């Protein structure tokens, strides 16, 4: 159908309906704006939302992971939840009435969810189970991916075709500090490892330092152009699938993943299940944080006690990696916040804890090994190996104050 016909469908929805839409770089903006023009009030639920979202009375933005399209928005409803558990929200306290999906064009009665699988299959199932509607925006520029990304066209109530460029971003060259962190992490990673890397410049910097490694496998929540660079360098095991739940990156990356049978996008319940993650030998998890305290606790989601992002899949992968044979989990971050001139290694967190029990914390200063060490030994390692030199004296005094050091 056309967008105009779709507006008529949306106008018949109940006020206050919960709408789940594709997030990340698969935001179906035309569908969202058609809905906004047709319905007085609704709840819009997206993960890591991008783009220009409606901003008016009657629209409640809701998410378990805050993206730039929702960040700092007045009235934002943040629902703390590990990413692997978000599907349970849809069958419990946050049932969807409408699901808006950005898909490829059809082939043999199927479309692909393209760059974003994530929690969307669970949202579709929950909506259909309660008589909701599923709407697809078919875009010939959306890459066709396999795995749980494929859906039968018969699973949609309405389909509209719109030809528009898919959001993309060119990779940035890592700065010197990020490159140093990447080198320190890469030295801890062995050949034949399975990798999960979070979002951001530092995980990308780690990948850039792994070109000399061999037989690496990707089992991750997401990946970007750094994985393509590993493929070009011959670092990936070509007999193993490259698995993720969503992807974003450059046009070159999209061309590579399009119709590529080695790349499989699976639903979050599979990619982020700690039990499944733990089955991978040498599972290695690399994520970033904003702060790490002397107890090894990390804050990766709040700034000045205001939500910045969310738990995401970090806790899922840290737990899974730590239970895997020869598994490791790293929190990688710069040791210093340049804008605020403050240390990222702090005595105690004044914000919510995002993760804990990782193998080590890595900054450009070095590697602080935490696993299997006492609290005092962890604090000592963080001060001596991860904190910037000018922060170490104050951290040592704080450690004594907390009774960590005698």
In the chain, which residues fall in CATH 3.40.1080.10? 3-161
Identified catalytic residue from 150, 221, 269, 364: 221
Q: Which whole number is the average pLDDT over 344-368?
A: 85
Question: What is the pLDDT at residue 356?
Answer: 57
Domain boundaries 176-401, corresponding CATH code: 3.40.1080.20
- Where would I find the beta strands (DSSP E) of 179-265? 194-197, 217-218, 222-223, 242-244, 246-247, 263-265
The answer to whether 176 touches 182, Cβ cutoff 8 Å, is no
Structure-block tokens of residue 6 = 């779709």
Q: What is the pLDDT of residues 293-324, one digit of tens each?
A: 998 999 988 887 688 898 889 999 999 999 99
Is 3-161 in CATH node 3.40.1080.10?
A: yes
Q: Where are the alpha helices (DSSP H) in 54-158?
A: 86-90, 120-129
Is there a catalytic annotation at residue 221? yes
Q: What is the pLDDT of residues 20-37, one digit of tens each?
A: 999 999 999 999 999 999
Q: Where are the alpha helices (DSSP H) in 285-343?
A: 314-323
Question: What is the pLDDT at residue 378?
Answer: 82
Tokens 């349970």 map to which residue? 88
The string of DSSP letters for 347-401 reads SS-SS---B---SEEEETTEEEE-TT--HHHHHHHIIIIIS-HHHHHHHHHHHHH
Q: How far apart are CA 334 and CA 248, in angstroms?
A: 23
In the chain, which residues fall in CATH 3.40.1080.20? 176-401
Q: What is the pLDDT of residues 172-190, one digit of tens each?
A: 888 999 999 999 999 999 9
pLDDT of 256 over the 60 cut: yes
Tokens 């075709």 map to which residue? 161
């Amino acid at each position: 159908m056309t967008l105009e016909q779709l507006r008529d469908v949306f106008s018949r929805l109940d006020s206050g309906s919960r709408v789940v839409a594709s997030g990340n770089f698969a935001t179906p903006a035309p569908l969202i704006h058609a809905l906004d023009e047709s319905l007085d009030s609704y709840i819009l639920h997206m993960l890591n939302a991008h783009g220009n979202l409606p901003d008016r009375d009657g629209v409640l933005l809701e998410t378990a992971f805050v993206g730039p399209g929702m960040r700092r928005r007045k009235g934002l409803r943040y629902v703390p939840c590990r990413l692997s558990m978000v599907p349970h929200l849809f069958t419990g306290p946050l049932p969807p009435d409408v699901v808006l999906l950005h898909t490829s064009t059809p082939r043999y009665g199927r479309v692909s969810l393209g760059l974003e699988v994530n929690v969307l299959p669970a949202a579709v199932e929950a909506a259909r189970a309660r008589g909701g509607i599923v709407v697809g925006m078919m875009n010939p520029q959306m890459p066709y991916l396999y795995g749980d990304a494929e859906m039968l066209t018969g699973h949609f109530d309405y389909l509209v075709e719109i030809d528009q460029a898919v959001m993309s971003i060119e990779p940035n060259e890592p700065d010197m500090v990020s490159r140093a962190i990447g080198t320190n992490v890469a030295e801890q990673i062995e050949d034949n490892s399975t990798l999960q890397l979070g979002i951001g410049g530092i995980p990308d910097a780690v990948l850039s330092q792994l070109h000399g490694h061999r037989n690496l496998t990707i089992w991750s929540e997401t990946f970007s152009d750094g994985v393509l660079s590993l493929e070009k360098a011959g670092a990936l095991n070509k007999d193993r699938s490259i698995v993720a739940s969503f992807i974003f990156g450059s046009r070159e990356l999209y061309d590579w993943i399009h119709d590529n049978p080695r790349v499989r996008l699976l639903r979050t319940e599979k990619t982020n299940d700690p039990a499944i993650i733990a089955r991978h030998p040498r599972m290695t998890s690399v994520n970033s944080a904003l702060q790490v305290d002397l107890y090894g606790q990390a804050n990766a989601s709040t700034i000045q006690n205001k939500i910045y992002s969310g738990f995401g899949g970090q806790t899922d992968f840290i737990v899974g990696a730590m239970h895997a044979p020869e598994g490791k989990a790293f929190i990688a971050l710069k040791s210093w916040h340049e804008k605020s001139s403050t240390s990222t290694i702090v005595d105690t967190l004044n914000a919510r804890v995002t993760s804990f029990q990782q193998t080590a914390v890595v900054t450009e200063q070095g590697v602080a090994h935490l696993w299997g060490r006492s609290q005092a030994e962890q604090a000592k390692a963080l001060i001596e190996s991860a904190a910037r030199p000018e922060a170490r004296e104050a951290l040592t005094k704080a450690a004594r104050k907390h009774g960590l050091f005698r």
